Structure 1
Amino acid sequence: MKNRLTESQLERKNSFIKVNGFWNDVWDELLYLDEDFFEVYSNFSSVPWKTGVLEPKIKELINIAISSSPTHLSVPATRIHIQNALRLGATNEEIVEVLKVVSILGMHTCAVGVPLMVEEFDNHDLSTEVRLTERQKQLKAEFIEQMGYWHDFRDVLLQMDESFFEAYSNFLTAPWKTGILEPKVIEFIYIAIDASTTHLFEKGIQVHLKNALKYGATKEEILEVYQLTSSLGFHSLLMGIPILVEELKKQNR
């Protein structure tokens, strides 16, 4: 593929590497197939790397989160960003912590589903009044102390299934207890995966924006998280172009 690139395409490739510090063979194919759109992609995705305020390693940890989120699960993108994070000095412990933080996203099933369940029960005159036991009140207080927030659906969850709530609480708070990632970075990860186009969980974004501000985040840092997350759409190219190239080869085109 390298021999097929024109001087103009090689110049654009070298410019991308200079700004972003890495390359992937898929972009050779994109350059060959549509040089003009590669320039569009390059200009868009490079903005946080040219003018950004977050350190490069943190950018890549956020990119890992976006790529590996349960609502996305892009193997090619996750591999690229793990490689980049390691190159930029991330430890295996930090990367594992990112994956642990992201894996809690499955609990949004309850965050969305439990309030809807309560609403339907109330519509049918079935009582959903919450009365917590002393043990449940203690679990609630421990959660709030650790996480700094609460939502009413957790009262219902706690009353209905104390053991499940406790397991969930331990799952959610595990990364906070290790200290491997600083709290502000964890909140950036939550903001990124909640704001991704594959999720767009507004309540979660609001909660984690408040927490990020509490930990000292600036509006410039948060905007950069959004900028990184907005590049998720380009994963369609990362996934689709190799398939296209493979099929073209089968047809000798």
Structure 2
Amino acid sequence: MSVNTQREELGYWNSTLNYLFEKDPEFFEIYKRFVSTPYKNNVIDAKSRELILVALSSSPTSLCKETLELHMKNAVSQGATEKEILEVLKLISVLGVHTCAVSVPSLVDEYEKYSNQSIEPNLNNKQKKLKEHFIDKMGYWNSFRDILLDNDENFFESYSDYLTNPWESNLLSPKLKEFIYIAIDSSTTHLFDAGTRVHIRNAFKYGATFEEIMEVFKLTSAQGVNTFYVSLPILKDIFSEKDE
């Protein structure tokens, strides 16, 4: 099968794909079938697929510049605007707070064991209003946030504003926002089960189907191909130098 045919089937082409195609055509066909399945199914529209892949490539837990550039260009070719892509980046940049989601409960547990004292958040009126505002915007709450709020309401308020800002606009649909969160929480570089479950529930609330969320998982499962995009140019350069 020619390069032009391959380009037509995938919808794009680049030096990484060309290297795989030339060096290991049998594996390339396997690779192509794996990554192209969600594109053939068309359960999720083309622009949304690319925005989800932009999110995965720019997530703090992966940051693959090579695939990020590819999927940003694909998203634009499918009609995505600069503001929409920026909105995706704003959504996922808050992922760092999962440090608190995972670690604050551990801190509380270890402190209580060490001190023989229990920590019981006692929210004042302002903190209660901040909590209500968060729940109203995001539709969920976790107990670690009570600890954050009681410990440092200024930090919590700034975090809350940061997290909820992309939800103030309609640039992306609520369902797509939840798909993006499902993707980055379930990615192989994060595997944050608590967040994945929360955003699956929210996605259903916004009208998502079982099949659509399965497609998000299929797109996310292909994150492993970042290995090729980062590594093959290096491999090619090393052996090009060796042959000189």
The 5 Å alignment of 1:5-154 reads 8=1, 10=2, 13-124=3-114, 125-154=116-145
Q: Does 1:195 align with 2:186?
A: yes
User: In the aligned structure 1, how far is the partner of 2:10 from the partner of 2:241?
Assistant: 33
3-state SS of 2:243 partner: coil
Asked if structure 2 preserves the Cα contact closer than 8 Å seen for 1:71 and 1:198, the reply is yes
Using the TM superposition, give the Cα deviation of residue 75 of structure 1 relative to its aligned residue in structure 2, in angstroms.
0.3
Q: Does 1:233 align with 2:224?
A: yes
Using the TM superposition, give the Cα deviation of residue 29 of structure 1 relative to its aligned residue in structure 2, in angstroms.
0.9
Asked if structure 2 preserves the Cα contact closer than 8 Å seen for 1:196 and 1:232, the reply is yes
User: In the aligned structure 2, how far is the partner of 1:167 from the partner of 1:15?
Assistant: 51
Amino acid across the alignment from 1:113:
S
User: In the aligned structure 1, how far is the partner of 2:206 from the partner of 2:187?
Assistant: 22
**Which of the residues 195, 198, 202 maps onto 1:207?**
198
User: In the aligned structure 2, how far is the partner of 1:188 from the partner of 1:15?
Assistant: 31
Q: Does 1:174 align with 2:165?
A: yes
User: In the aligned structure 1, how far is the partner of 2:201 from the partner of 2:56?
Assistant: 20
User: In the aligned structure 1, how far is the partner of 2:128 from the partner of 2:10?
Assistant: 49
Amino acid across the alignment from 2:72:
I
User: In the aligned structure 2, how far is the partner of 1:19 from the partner of 1:72?
Assistant: 27
TM-score (normalised: structure 2):
0.97
Using the TM superposition, give the Cα deviation of residue 19 of structure 1 relative to its aligned residue in structure 2, in angstroms.
3.1
Using the TM superposition, give the Cα deviation of residue 120 of structure 1 relative to its aligned residue in structure 2, in angstroms.
0.7
User: In the aligned structure 2, how far is the partner of 1:177 from the partner of 1:156?
Assistant: 26
Asked if structure 2 preserves the Cα contact closer than 8 Å seen for 1:196 and 1:229, the reply is yes
Using the TM superposition, give the Cα deviation of residue 21 of structure 1 relative to its aligned residue in structure 2, in angstroms.
1.5
Aligned length: 243
Unaligned runs of 5+ in 1: 1-7
Equivalent residue, structure 2, for 1:245: 236
Q: Any idea what the Cα deviations from partners look like across 1:190-242, whole Å, max 9, x if unmatched?
A: 00000000000000000000000000000111000000000000110111111
3-state SS of 2:119 partner: coil
Q: Does 1:219 align with 2:210?
A: yes
User: In the aligned structure 2, how far is the partner of 1:201 from the partner of 1:14?
Assistant: 40
Runs of 4+ off more than 6 Å: none
User: In the aligned structure 2, how far is the partner of 1:155 from the partner of 1:246?
Assistant: 52
**Sequence identity percentage:** 49
Asked if structure 2 preserves the Cα contact closer than 8 Å seen for 1:194 and 1:201, the reply is yes
* More divergent stretch after superposition (63-72 vs 121-130): 121-130
- Report the RMSD for the aligned CA atoms in angstroms: 1.0
TM-score (normalised: structure 1):
0.94
Equivalent residue, structure 2, for 1:4: none
Unaligned runs of 5+ in 2: none
User: In the aligned structure 2, how far is the partner of 1:126 from the partner of 1:72?
Assistant: 39
